[in-house]
Copies of this chain bind each other. A is one copy, B any other.
């Protein structure tokens, strides 16, 4: 059942059927009724592939996620989807598992017009690749800053700086960092924030305290183990993910140490994991929903006007204090 069949049954032309379907007002009431009747009767649904081919628009946006293990993405996604659907776009998702090959495979959807734009988190590809793509189709980055393409993110350096400073305020001198292990820009920024905070407070950076740690409970657990075996174990651990923080805390508990008393722990993202854990976890909260919305608005801008300038939207983070750190008043916490 295609538009031609409908046209024949409604005794009119495909053009008119198309007009009716797309709510073009320049159709007589009589014919419109007839067409709608036939559509109803036959259950005709326009073939969107044909439509996309003709219009060079798909009405779909692609979100590339490195993983869906981290519930942080769920909030962001809700922001994206919500705004997208208001604007008439469907949101589809693909998971890259941080593999550049997989990422490229899905980006083909964009370069072949199967989706109208892409929101990427940490791209697995090189900066050049990203820049290159951005010339072929609208791309924006979310949650990580970029100089190549428009992005919506928090100030990771500052967020990390403040969290570290808060740990210093609590009296910690030996602060470990479970840093992101993928070498992405936002990870480096967070490491830098940590370093600056130490240096600004007259402390040396101890390489032994900086450990790459994957997004997983077990890796947080193991990394914490490693740290606690050091001759001078840290008295605080700043992690890149709430889940790593949970793993670290679990290890502390196993070792008979009390999180928030013997060792302070801070997570990152502000997912439900940080609120749920026992003890609950101090965390650097990202405004996921708002970031998603912002990223989407940047993307739409780029879709509507491909030559628009590269823009960066920086949103405020928030240090949420919980049981996993000794409670003293926090440093100021917004951008």
Binding site for B on A (CB under 8 A): 45-50, 52-53, 58, 62, 67-69, 71, 73-74, 77, 81, 85, 90-95, 102, 105-106, 108-109, 111-114, 216-217, 243, 246-247, 249-250, 253, 272, 275-278
* A45, A68, A74, A114: most-surrounded residue (chain B CB, <10 A): A68
Of the A-B pairs whose beta carbons lie under 8 Å apart in the complex, a sample of 10, sorted by A's number, is A45-B108, A47-B113, A49-B49, A49-B58, A49-B113, A68-B77, A69-B272, A85-B102, A246-B276, A250-B278
* CB–CB B49/A114 < 8 A: yes
B276 in contact with A278 (CB, 8 Å)? no
- Interfacial chain B residues near A62, Cβ < 8 Å: 92
Q: Smallest CB–CB gap between A255 and chain B, Å?
A: 13
Those 9 A-B pairs whose CB atoms lie nearest each other, nearest first: A217-B276, A93-B93, A48-B112, A68-B68, A92-B92, A49-B53, A68-B74, A69-B74, A49-B52
Question: Is there contact, CB below 8 Å, between A276 and B253?
Answer: no
Contact in complex: A243, B92 (CB < 8 Å) = no
Per the bound structure, the CA–CA distance linking A210 and B326 in Å amounts to 39
Given A49-B53, A49-B58, A49-B113, 16 more pairs with CB closer than 8 A: A45-B112, A47-B113, A48-B109, A49-B52, A49-B114, A67-B74, A68-B68, A77-B95, A85-B102, A90-B105, A91-B95, A92-B94, A93-B93, A93-B95, A216-B272, A217-B275
Chain B residues near A94 (CB, 8 Å)? 90-93
Q: How far is the CB of A52 from chain B (nearest CB, A)?
A: 5
Distance in Å: Cβ of A107 to nearest Cβ of chain B:
10
- The residue that A50 contacts in the complex, of B53, B67, B92, B275, with Cβ under 8 A, is B53
Select one of B112, B217, B243, B249 contacting A46, CB under 8 A.
B112
**How far is B112's CA from A105's CA once the two chains are assembled, in angstroms?**
22
In the complex, how many angstroms separate the beta carbon of A158 from the nearest chain B beta carbon? 28
Complex contact B74–A272 (CB within 8 A): no
* Residue contact A114 to B48, C-beta cutoff 8 Å: yes
CB distance from A224 to the nearest CB of B (A): 13
A47 engages B112 (CB within 8 Å): yes
Assess the B278–A278 pair: CB atoms within 8 A: yes
